[in-house]
Amino acid sequence: MNANEEKLIKDLRFHGNDHTPTLVPHPWFKDKFQPTFFYVDGHADLLLTVRALIYLSMRAINPELGSDDIMERNEEEFIHQAMTIANRLMPVGEEALMDHLNLYYREEKKVKEED
C-alpha cells in the first residue's frame, strides 16, 4: 500500500463518523437506496407535499396557468413544503468525505505523472 492510500484510509477512519449518511441501502430493493431524512407526518402530509410539488412544477412551466384562489392563497406554503423536502434530501456532511476522496485521486494522479 502506498503512502497516499495509507493517508486516505487514516483520514477516512478518523472522519468516518463526521457525517450522517443521506442515502442508505433499501431493505427490499437490491442495489437501490433510500433517503434517510425524508419523512412525512402521515398520508395527508404526503398528499399535500405531492400536491405542492405538482402545483409549483405546473406554475414553473406555465406561469400564466389559470388556477383557483385556494391554490394561489396556498402558494407560499407550497414553496415552503418544497424547500423543506429539498433541505431534507441534501447530503449532510458527505461533502467532507468526497473532499478526502478527491484529494486522494489528485495525489494519485500527481504520483503517476511523476513516474
pTM: 0.52
pLDDT digits (tens, 9 = 90+) for 10-39: 877 777 666 666 778 889 998 888 887 777
Separation in Å, CA 11 to CA 15, 92, 99 = 6, 18, 11
pLDDT digits (tens, 9 = 90+) for 26-79: 899 988 888 877 778 899 888 888 888 888 888 888 877 766 666 777 788 888
Q: What is the mean pLDDT of residues 75-101?
A: 77
Query: d(Cα 74, Cα 37) in Å, to the nearest integer?
Result: 25
Q: What is the mean pLDDT of residues 90-112?
A: 74
Separation in Å, CA 14 to CA 8, 11, 59 = 10, 5, 47
Domain regions of the chain by residue span: 3-100
pLDDT of residue 68: 64
